Amino acid sequence: MSQQLLTYLVVGASFALYIGIAIWSRASSTNEFYVAGGGVHPVANGMATAADWMSAASFISMAGIIAFAGYDGSTFLMGWTGGYVLLALLLAPYLRKFGQFTVPDFIGERYYSKTARVVAVVCLIVISFTYIAGQMRGVGVVFSHFLDLEIHQGVLVGMAVVFFYAVLGGMKGITYTQVAQYCVLIIAYMTPAIFISILITGNPVPQLGLGATVADGSGLTVLQKLDHTLVDLGFNPYTLGSKTMIDVLAITLALMVGTAGLPHVIVRFFTVPKVSDARMSAGYALAFIAILYTTAPAVGAFARINFIETVNGSTYAAAEEQGGTPQFFKTFEDIGLIRWIDKNQDGVVQYSAGSAFEGRAQFTGETGASGERLLANVPTNNLNEVDVDRDIMVLANPEIAKLPAWVIALVAAGGIAAALSTAAGLLLVISASISHDLLKKTFKPDVSERGELLAARGAAIFAIAVAGYLGINPPGFVAQVVALAFGLAAASLFPAILMGIFYKNMNKEGAIAGMVAGLTVTLAYIAYFKSPWFGTVNSAEYWLFGISPEGIGTLGMMVNFAVAIAVSRFTAPTPDRVRDMVDDIRIPSGAQIAHSH
């Protein structure tokens, strides 16, 4: 059986499983559509939350970033996992006790204002569409490589599958689909990691393999070998960071509080029966997430070693078994995710420090003497001939290591599961915020439950269409786009939620002003450095206080807090009924009597 046919079968079987679950768990009410009826077991909710949160960025991109950034990539590990501790301790149980459907629901009620609710919806939509662009891009990358489709065709297939189970099943269908997707993605991630750890170090536990001695007789550990190899090629040592301390802190904090402010993650804690179950769900989710996150550094290190050893010095035109460039290199080159130019015309691939191309070098349509695809904007001030898209490393890892065909097919299914699970969660919070918060709670309060459910499904269809467009025209590679979404969440929703729970004096004017200010500052900074409209060089010399766009959410959060507190001091105080509501959210059940005395 061919590799491609096997991949089609494995991915097709996973799709059939997801759609079957959606049919079995079809939502028949708004309560089931929004929060799965509030009866999900904490273990199942922990798995679903892990799948919801471990997106294409976690599965596809994070190990790729670590592979190329080395020590600097640890900011993603610390930020994303640390955010779950914040979520479990500071937000999840209180929001579950509040007992509403959505994050804008909480903000609208807590800040006694339809305007606050609408501002929260706007923040949520901006965050979710920024995030979902990365997921649909991940779907396109997986399909284009494994199923021999164009990236835009892969995005369309992904849209169709998400449409079916998100629109039909709502949160109920998505929850149980995500349980299945977690199982698929974690098996798909761990299987090649274990194989490759054994091949490189002889240790079957990847987490231990990262610190083990390489089985090549050199006596070096994995990290020592990487350091030596990269220095020889002109790169910085793998274990030496290049980011400034302030940028590391800013990115880590933005990812942490952004995790705690992500609407599609928070809504998962509305699906469990009790407040205590919300905290348990967060604990289970952290355990399930830790399996992948403790493995990612090893996967990144192994991938970088294997990539250098198989690509650097290979002869492009020769057969692979005769020292030629491996097949995966040419496969990814065909879809534009690896680019090579033979600068010295020797037919040998040279991978070293330096920029192989300037900006988004375009294929000229011509072929060079060595068979490479000629591109414009090629700098000649360095010897590096290879440009690698970070998103390919996890997908290519099994092929680089020449693992069995079934492992490669499993990785394809896992990558798609990771992207689709998060995309579905994001689509649901977008549709719920439009149908529930804008329609039912703001503009048309007399709408019937049937009308609200139809509106929710219609909003989901609209969101899928926009998500598909963003997947075909993404603003960057997957993890980079996702990091920006976390920054937006940190700067807009997190402060409003946190102060809503713990600061009774925060009034509606302060919360609205803070959300608008935080979102505006962060969005403007990201647009200035990341969008093609301004043409600004994304260099540290232009960054405010040395903070990169990925970390600007921390500054946006501080602006939010400062503006909100300042405005609240000069406007009407919070009504007594709202203060009582905050007390009720924060005081444990059964403690009200003791508190009153």
- What are the tens digits of pLDDT across the range 333-361? 877 778 888 887 888 888 888 777 765 55
Contact yes or no for 411/395 (Cβ under 8 A) = yes
With CA atoms as reference, report the closest residue to 111 among 548, 518, 508: 508
Nearest to 540 by CA among 247, 251, 255: 247
Res 597: pLDDT: 37
pLDDT for residue 370: 62
CA within 13 Å, CB half, 393: 33
* Segment (H or E) for 375: strand 373-375
| Residue 325 to residue 10: CA distance in whole angstroms | 28
251 vs 402: CA distance, rounded Å = 36
Statement: residue 312 has pLDDT above 80: yes
Asked if residue 298 has pLDDT above 60, the reply is: yes
- The DSSP 8-state label assigned to residue 546 in this structure reads G
Q: How confident is the model at residue 130 (pLDDT cuts 50, 70, 90)?
A: confident
The phi, psi pair for 211, rounded to 5°, reads: -105, 5
pLDDT at 466 over 70: yes
* Collapsed DSSP state (helix, strand, coil) of residue 374: strand
The single-letter DSSP state of residue 58 is I
Check whether 43 has a pLDDT greater than 80: yes
Cα dihedral across residues 250, 252, 255, 261: positive or negative: negative
Q: Which of 225-234, 239-248, 390-399 has the highest mean pLDDT?
A: 225-234
Rounded to whole angstroms, the Cα distance separating 274 from 139 reads: 35
pLDDT at position 590, please? 45
The average confidence (pLDDT) of the chain is: 79
In angstroms, the CA 120 to CA 512 distance is 8
Instruction: Give ∠ CA 473-388-321 in degrees, rounded to 5.
Output: 130
For residue 146, pLDDT over 80 is answered with no
**Percentage of residues in the chain with pLDDT exceeding 90?**
17
The yes-or-no verdict on residue 472 having pLDDT over 80 is no
Asked if 33 and 27 count as a contact pair (C-beta separation under 8 A), the reply is: yes
pLDDT band for 94, please (50, 70, 90 cuts).
confident
The pLDDT score that the predictor gives to residue 166 is 61
* Predicted local confidence at residue 377, as pLDDT: 61
Instruction: Name the pLDDT band for 172 (thresholds 50, 70, 90).
Output: low
Nearest alpha-carbon partner for 235 in 223, 222, 226, 247: 226
When mean pLDDT is compared across 14-18, 28-32, 210-214, 548-552, the lowest value belongs to 28-32
Please calculate the CA angle 522-527-529 and round it to the nearest 5 degrees. Answer: 100
Using DSSP, state whether 339 is helix, strand or coil: strand
Task: Output the pLDDT for position 117.
Answer: 87
Looking at the DSSP assignment, which residues form a beta bridge with residue 339?
A: 387
pLDDT surpasses 60 at 562? yes
Choice among 63-72, 194-203, 228-237, 295-304 with the minimum mean pLDDT: 63-72
Cα pseudo-dihedral 415, 421, 423, 426, rounded to 10: -150
Nearest to 15 by CA among 413, 422, 499: 413
pLDDT over 70, % of the chain: 84
Residue 1 has which token pair?
A: 């059986």
Q: What is the mean pLDDT of residues 400-418?
A: 82
